[in-house]
Amino acid sequence: MKYILILLTFSCNLLAQQKISGLILDKTSGKPVSFASLGIVGKQVGTLSDENGVFELILAADQTKDTLKVYAIGYKPQVFYSQDLIKEVNNKISLEALPTQLAEVVVKSKKIKYKTLGTTKYSKNNCSGFVKNTNNWKGSESALKIDNKDGRQVLMETFSFYIIQNKYADSLTFRLMFYEAADTKWQYPSTRPFMKKPIIFKVGQKNGQFVLNIKEYGVYTSKDFYVSLECLMDEMEITKFCYAGSYDSPSFVKAAAFSKWTQLRGGGPDFNVKVSYTD
């Protein structure tokens, strides 16, 4: 009888789950929007659309009345009632692109200087990784606070981190995010990144320093900021992939696209960004 009750309980839980699936498109062009974020604000429930804009999200019974948010870099965010999307078999969500704004360029005759901000020495004995959300690792992020000289406008040139191990056979896909510090006591990363275009890249190397050239994306700031690595994979077990991290890094993590940032107590990622600037 005990085994029958366990089986019935498990079956009821499965039946109570609801699936939301569909396609995310650019409103103007009709083309798929890759790696758009979907989730319930403040909860560890979320996912990403794939390279073809297709998504699938599983909700528990107590989440079917929650509000679902959809966001992609360069687009206006949208909010839906989960129940409205559950009713449709194949949802088509159209995102409206934000107006393109050209950054103001100030030409100076002074010599360009370069500086590496963030962690300059990797702690290769401390393995850091991503936090799993309710369903998988998609949308999980790990962020490091970067101190910038007040009022100094910097251009992000490269991003670097150190891979301790990578046991996955195929290349792994990540997205690099930049956030301003929220105007709160704890200075969490703000809710939206400040870059204008998504920075998506693949990692195939098994260990060692990985350097990504990001100058072409034109990411500027004159404030302190967070650099964050976002997982775009279904699976990212720390026993298979991890990177160097320090015990005293001012770091935050979140498990899903719109879940809350949590400050790490036991150390965070060893990330660094090479920037250029003029006095």
Q: What is the CATH number of the domain that holds 203?
A: 2.60.120
Tell me the C-alpha distance between 163 and 243, whole Å. Answer: 4
Entry pTM: 0.88
pLDDT in tens, 108-137: 557 999 999 999 899 999 999 999 887 789
pLDDT value of position 151: 82
pLDDT in tens, 44-59: 899 999 999 999 999 9
Same domain, 194 and 273: yes
Same domain, 136 and 239: yes
Same domain, 146 and 272: yes
Same domain, 192 and 229: yes
Residue 57, domain extent = 2-95
| Structural domains counted in the chain | 2
Helix (H) or strand (E) holding 220: strand 220-221
| Residue 105 falls inside a structural domain | no
What percent helix, strand, coil does the chain show, rounded to 5?
A: 10, 40, 50
| Residue 163 falls inside a structural domain | yes
